[in-house]
């Protein structure tokens, strides 16, 4: 892509964004410079659309506020300590940041916020050359002091300064490198990879919240497998997700993959292929696909005859998932959803040739709950055999299970399996106050419903009274 073509791309971006032109006029009138920077410039050069408009300027934060006053629909200064002022105009959000020339203390990795005076000085301190391009919205000129355009053309991820300096300033940039490899499909420069290997341990200084945010962005990128492989190859995974590295040591029981790690990457790819195209990337499904076999290293057993088994690895895996995702500060909902999918991912393999009873199908649906659709995708993605006949047979069997679920669901509300008697009726029939005995009766009736399907009212009462007699509960005289 020639320089003139790249320039035209950004000019077109500005042409369809009158906000940028309006800002250019106001900053020029104030005698200040204004540059479009970061991902919006990079994406424009790549021919990708971007809804983010980030600007940098030589104006100080108080000057930015004065320039925007009377123009913006709203202003906020939550980032003013870092030189950033936010604004919205006609539903579009922009952030404008004063040139930065930060110095890092080398211990806490927190920057001493220092404002700079030149665009070149601001760009050189950024994480990667592909993010260190700017466009002067007043003069309509590119600024590219670190070779970002050439890096985009070569699809190479490199740092403006030496990788050691860049990662020393902020070790999270190493994980961000893996994220950009996954997001852009670029290749990390050899010197970047070397620095990541030698400095991976520095990532332990970063807070779990920042690490988790980058990991989630990586997993929701277009090419997460490439980023994950880079994490493992450089040792970053030893800090972030050490269970991934452990899986590299385990050969799966089918001997269809070099190791369980590579099997899990294939499952991740296949799960992504099953996502709905019109929806956002499914972080829960992707985490479950990547981590569904993390219990295998701890459950590997060598059997007589040369075989290898991983009995109950789904149980161990669910526990490991909870421990790791909690450490990364994922929300309780995400932790529990991923753990449940890992725990349930093997359940289907007991289905065999369709010998499950309707009761077993009901339990499968009930145990999955709101995760049933994701469980369907995870189970299908977990079929990675190279034997096409076997793969087709597994998919047909699962098709049959889904059809059975649909047939039973047509007659019963499988999404909300409840006892045939509610808590109030249980208390009335048994003469019980609220408490554990009512809960036990409710659970008994729910299990009965799962086993036998819906009962008529009189039958449910008879079963409850029989259960009560066995428990030593004497119902009141009718």
pLDDT in tens, 219-235: 999 999 999 999 999 99
251 in a structural domain: no
Structurally, how many domains does the chain consist of?
4
Helix (H, G, I), strand (E, B) or coil at 382: coil
Asked which of 10-14, 99-103, 241-245, 332-336 is least confident by mean pLDDT, the reply is: 10-14
50 with 81, same domain: the answer is yes
pLDDT value at residue 251: 55
User: Could you read off the pLDDT of 283-299 as tens digits, one per residue?
Assistant: 999 999 999 999 998 88
pLDDT at position 131 is 94
* Nearest residue to 425 via CA among 366, 471, 475, 362: 475
Q: Which residues of 63-96 are buried (b: 16+ CB within 10 A; e: fewer)?
A: bbbebbeeebeeeeeeeeeebbbbbebeeeebbb
The confidence score (pLDDT) of residue 216 equals: 98
Q: Is the pLDDT of residue 26 over 80?
A: yes
Within-domain flag for 477: no
Higher pLDDT, 105 or 133: 133
Asked whether residue 67 is domain-assigned, the answer is yes
DSSP letter string, 38-63:
THHHHHHHTT-----EEEEESS-HHH
Angle at 389 between CA 386 and CA 395, to 5 degrees: 90
* Separation in Å, CA 290 to CA 240, 321, 394, 465, 478: 14, 11, 21, 48, 58
Instruction: Looking at the structure, tell me whether residues 70 and 178 fall in a common domain.
Output: no
48 and 125 in a single domain? The answer is yes
Provide the pLDDT confidence category of residue 442 given band limits of 50, 70 and 90.
confident
- Residue 250 domain-assigned (yes or no): no
Give yes or no for residue 325 having a pLDDT over 80: yes
**Are 140 and 171 in a shared domain?**
no
More confident residue, 273 or 389: 273
Domain annotation covers residue 386: yes
Instruction: For 378-429, write each residue's pLDDT tens digit.
Output: 999 998 877 788 778 778 888 888 888 887 776 665 555 667 678 888 888 8
- Least confident range from 52-66, 73-87, 108-122, 364-378: namely 108-122
Residue 13 pLDDT exceeds 50: yes
State percent of the chain over pLDDT 90: 49
pLDDT of 200 over the 60 cut: yes
What rounded mean pLDDT belongs to the chain?
86
Given pLDDT bands bounded at 50, 70 and 90, which one contains residue 340?
A: very high
Q: Mark which of 154, 180, 215 sits at the end of a domain.
A: 154
Same domain, 295 and 204: no
- Residue 335 — pLDDT band, cuts 50, 70, 90? very high
Pair (219, 201) in one structural domain? yes
pLDDT at 204: 93
- How far lies 155's CA from each of 8, 45, 130, 184, in Å? 20, 12, 9, 8
Q: Which of 211, 240, 269 is the last residue of a domain?
A: 240
Share of the chain above pLDDT 70, in %: 87
Do 21 and 133 lie in one domain? The reply is yes
pLDDT over 70 (residue 65): yes
The residue-averaged pLDDT of 445-452 equals 77
Where a domain ends, among 154, 185, 216? 154
476 is a domain residue: no
pLDDT of residue 415: 55
Structural domain span for residue 432: 418-471
Look up the CATH number of the domain holding residue 78: 3.30.460.10
Same domain for 373 and 274? yes
Q: Would 448 be classed as within a structural domain? A: yes
Domain identity same for 265 and 382: yes
pLDDT band at 257 (very low <50, low <70, confident <90, very high): very low
Q: What is the pLDDT of residue 414?
A: 54
Whether 195 and 137 share a structural domain: no
Regarding whether 296 and 397 lie in a shared domain, the answer is yes
Asked if 133 and 211 sit in the same domain, the reply is no
**Under DSSP, is residue 473 helix (H, G, I), strand (E, B) or coil?**
coil
Inside any domain, residue 350: yes
What pLDDT score was predicted for residue 249? 62
CA 239 vs CA 109, 217, 289: distances in Å: 17, 17, 20
- Give, in order, the Cα–Cα distances in Å from 364 to each of 267, 307, 312, 413: 21, 29, 18, 14
Of 336-340, 354-358, 455-459, which range is least confident? 354-358
Q: Between these two residues, 114 and 104, which has the higher pLDDT value?
A: 114
User: Which CATH number covers residue 200?
Assistant: 1.10.110.30
């Amino acid at each position: 892509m020639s320089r003139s073509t790249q320039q035209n791309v950004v000019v077109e971006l500005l042409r369809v964004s009158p906000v940028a032109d309006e800002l250019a006029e106001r900053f020029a009138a104030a005698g200040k410079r204004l540059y479009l920077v970061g991902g919006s410039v990079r994406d424009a050069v790549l021919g990708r659309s971007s809804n983010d408009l980030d600007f940098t300027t030589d104006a100080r934060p108080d000057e930015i506020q004065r320039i925007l006053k009377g123009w913006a629909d709203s202003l906020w200064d939550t980032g003013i300590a870092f030189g950033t002022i936010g604004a919205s105009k006609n539903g579009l959000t922009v952030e404008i940041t004063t040139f930065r020339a930060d110095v890092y203390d080398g211990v806490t990795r927190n920057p001493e916020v220092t404002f700079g005076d030149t665009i070149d000085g601001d760009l050189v301190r950024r994480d990667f050359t592909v993010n260190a391009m700017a466009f002067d919205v007043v003069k309509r000129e590119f600024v590219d002091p670190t070779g970002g355009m050439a890096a985009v053309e070569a699809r190479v991820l490199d740092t403006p300064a030496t990788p050691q300096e860049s990662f020393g300033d902020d070790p999270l940039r190493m994980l961000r490198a893996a994220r950009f490899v996954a997001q852009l499909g670029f290749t990390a420069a050899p010197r970047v990879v070397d620095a990541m290997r030698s400095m991976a341990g520095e990532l332990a200084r970063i807070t779990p919240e920042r690490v988790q945010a980058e990991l989630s962005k990586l997993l929701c990128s277009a090419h997460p497998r490439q980023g994950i492989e880079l994490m493992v190859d450089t040792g970053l995974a030893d800090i972030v997700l050490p269970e991934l590295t452990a899986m590299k040591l385990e050969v799966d029981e089918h001997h269809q993959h070099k190791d369980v790690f590579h099997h899990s990457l294939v499952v991740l790819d296949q799960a992504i292929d099953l996502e709905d195209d019109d929806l956002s990337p499914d972080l829960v499904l992707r985490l479950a696909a990547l981590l569904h076999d993390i219990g295998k290293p701890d459950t590997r057993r060598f059997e007589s005859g040369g075989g290898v088994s991983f009995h109950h690895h789904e149980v161990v895996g669910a526990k490991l998932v909870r421990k790791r995702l909690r450490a990364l500060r994922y929300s309780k909902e995400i932790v529990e959803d991923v753990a449940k999918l890992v725990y349930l991912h093997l359940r289907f393999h007991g289905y065999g040739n369709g010998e499950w009873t309707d009761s077993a199908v009901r339990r499968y649906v009930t145990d999955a709950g709101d995760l049933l659709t994701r469980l369907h995708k995870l189970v299908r993605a977990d079929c990675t055999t190279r034997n096409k006949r076997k793969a087709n047979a597994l998919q047909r069997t699962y098709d049959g299970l889904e059809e059975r679920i649909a047939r039973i669901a047509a007659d019963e509300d499988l999404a909300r399996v409840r006892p045939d008697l509610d808590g109030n009726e249980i208390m009335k029939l048994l003469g019980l106050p609220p408490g554990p005995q009512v809960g036990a009766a409710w659970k008994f009736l729910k299990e009965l419903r799962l086993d036998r399907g819906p009962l008529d009212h009189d039958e449910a009462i008879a079963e409850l009274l029989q259960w009560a007699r066995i428990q030593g509960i004497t119902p009141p005289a009718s």
